[in-house]
């Protein structure tokens, strides 16, 4: 009985994370490559214990594992895991510097599967601790800003410059920032257009139930079309329009490029916004609406003064889904000339250069994750503590 009780006291998620962390130490921590397309020599973390940074990291990994399993103080667990995350990032930078030959511009030091798995495990430990602390929406955004600031310090310090992804960035800095701007313009531009179209459609569906089923089914059908297929479907009519309508060509509407990507993203974004608008409006207490009507408020005044403010948290949830989805789908739009971080991903795949793939994938994940955290926090702040 005592043994069973002890096992039950262990955090099940913590046990899984510790097992995953142990497995990560058996995977390559870093690959030492002669050039950007070479397979490279895998190096385990255990093979690096002659380096101080690896020793410190190992000690903090063990401390984090013990904290996850045994420490009930969530804030202490968060502090230990944060130190471990910082040590992990510092260790990969220092190890990469140590293995890079002097005055070599072609050698590449690529983080291995062990590093990425440890990064994910420690990130989950930190996320779990932050959830258990139950931060307020403002504190969640502040925590995101703090971790982004700490990462920025590592990047600004030059500690990570020997990593292959940073060398790829150094040779493509101008292109990186231009593609980052294109990526964000497509993602946020499609979101803005979808919101302008989707909110009135959602309100109309709420007011006219007979229209709701047909419209939502049509938008659901669009969601079943693969992104590449939808891009291909849009290329032909837009190409025809650009050829026969000079004004369309002057506005930048072509069969390839940003136009088909933007239209496809808007079409994909409509269902979550329309559906969540309907659900949010249906969630408003009818008694509140009746009381407002009894006070002489018009239908429009009830909509703008009562319905939409009360439904806003649910609507923002749909917008969060749309934005995260759009940030991911923009990468695919690079195949039709839409630009964005997908340019680096597909160039890297074509050249068998995984470091170039990471240059496009890592910021995409960062922007998607950050957008989700911020919009969730905004929705919760509007919803209030009693929701």
The string of pLDDT tens digits covering residues 366-380 is 999 999 999 888 888
Q: With 90 as the cut, is the pLDDT of residue 208 above it?
A: no
Terminal-residue alpha carbon distance, the chain: 40
pLDDT-above-70 percentage for the chain = 94
Inter-CA distances, 135 with 49, 113, 143, 208, Å = 37, 32, 9, 40
In this prediction, residue 39 has a pLDDT band, given cuts at 50, 70 and 90, of confident
Please choose, from the candidates 325, 308, 302, 333, the residue with its C-alpha nearest in 3D space to the C-alpha of residue 372. Answer: 325
CB of 115 closer than 8 Å to CB of 88: yes
pTM, two decimals, is 0.84
Q: Where are the domains of the chain?
A: 2-134, 173-383
The secondary structure of the chain, three-state, reads CHHHHHHHHCCHHHHHHHHHHHHHCCCEEEEEECCCCCCCEEEEHHHHCCCHHHHHHHHHHHHHHHHHHHCCCHHHHHHHHHHHHHHHHHHHHHHHHHHCCCCCCCCEEEECHHHHHHHHHHHHHHHHHHHHHCCCHHHHHHHHHHHHHHHHHHHHHCCCCCEHHHHHHHHCHHHHHHHHHHHHHHHHHHHHHHHHHHHHHHHHHHHCHHHHHHHHHHHHHHHCCCHHHHHHHHHHHHHHHHHHCHHHHHCCCCCCCHHHHHHHHHHHHHHHHHHHHHHHHHCCCHHHHHHHHHCCCCHHHHHHHHHHHHHHHHHHHHHHHHHHHHHHHHHHHHHHCCCCCHHHHHHHHHHCCHHHHHHHHHHHHHHHHHHHHHHHHHHHHHHCCCC
Query: Residues 219-251: pLDDT tens digits?
Result: 898 888 888 788 888 877 877 676 777 776 666
Rounded Cα distance between 344 and 362, Å, is: 11
Tens of pLDDT, residue by residue over 153-169, are 999 998 999 999 998 89
C-alpha span between 84 and 118 (Å, rounded): 10
Residue 147 to residue 197: CA distance in whole angstroms: 36
Indicate if the pLDDT at residue 1 is higher than 50.
Answer: no
Between CA 254 and CA 338 the distance in angstroms is 11
* CATH 1.10.3720.10 is held by the domain 173-383: yes
Q: Which residues of 153-181 are buried (b: 16+ CB within 10 A; e: fewer)?
A: eeeeeebbebbbbbbbbeebeeebeebbe
Question: Which tokens sit at 202?
Answer: 């959602």
Please report the pLDDT score of residue 2 as a whole number.
42
Paired tokens of 149: 């600031």
Q: Is the pLDDT of residue 103 over 50?
A: yes
Split at pLDDT 50, 70, 90, the class of 9 is low
């Amino acid at each position: 009985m005592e043994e069973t009780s002890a096992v039950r006291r262990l955090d099940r998620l913590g046990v899984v994370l510790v097992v995953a962390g142990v497995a990560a130490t058996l995977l390559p921590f870093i690959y030492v490559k002669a050039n950007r397309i070479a397979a490279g020599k895998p190096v385990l973390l255990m093979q690096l214990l002659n380096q101080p940074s690896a020793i410190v990291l190992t000690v903090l990994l063990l401390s984090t594992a013990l904290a996850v399993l045994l420490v009930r103080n969530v804030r202490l667990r968060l502090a230990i895991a944060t130190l471990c995350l910082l040590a992990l990032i510092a260790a990969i930078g220092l190890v990469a510097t140590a293995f890079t030959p002097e005055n070599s511009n072609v050698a590449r030091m690529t983080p291995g599967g062990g590093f990425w798995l440890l990064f994910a495990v420690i990130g989950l430990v930190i996320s779990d601790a932050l959830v258990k602390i139950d931060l307020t929406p403002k504190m969640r955004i502040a925590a995101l800003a703090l971790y982004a600031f700490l990462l920025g310090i590592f990047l600004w310090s030059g500690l990570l410059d020997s990593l292959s992804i940073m060398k790829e960035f150094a040779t493509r800095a101008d292109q990186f920032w231009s593609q980052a701007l294109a990526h964000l313009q497509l993602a946020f531009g499609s979101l803005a257009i979808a919101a302008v179209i989707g909110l009135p459609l959602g309100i109309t569906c709420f007011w006219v139930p007979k229209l709701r089923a047909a419209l939502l089914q049509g938008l659901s059908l669009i969601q079943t079309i693969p992104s590449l297929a939808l891009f291909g479907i849009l290329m032909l009519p837009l190409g025809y329009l650009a050829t026969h309508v000079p004004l369309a060509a002057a506005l930048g509407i072509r069969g390839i490029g940003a136009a088909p990507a933007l239209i496809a993203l808007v079409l994909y974004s409509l269902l979550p916004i329309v559906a969540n608008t309907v659900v949010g409006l249906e969630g408003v207490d009818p008694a509140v609406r009746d009381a407002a009507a009894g006070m002489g408020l018009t239908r429009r005044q009830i909509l703008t003064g009562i319905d939409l403010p009360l439904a806003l948290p649910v609507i923002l949830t749909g917008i969060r889904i749309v934005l995260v989805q759009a940030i991911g789908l923009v990468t695919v739009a690079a195949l039709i000339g839409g630009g964005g971080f997908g340019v680096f991903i597909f160039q890297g795949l074509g050249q068998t250069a995984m470091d170039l793939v990471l240059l496009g994938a890592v910021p995409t994940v960062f922007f998607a994750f950050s957008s989700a955290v911020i919009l969730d926090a905004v929705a919760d702040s509007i919803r209030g503590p009693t929701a």
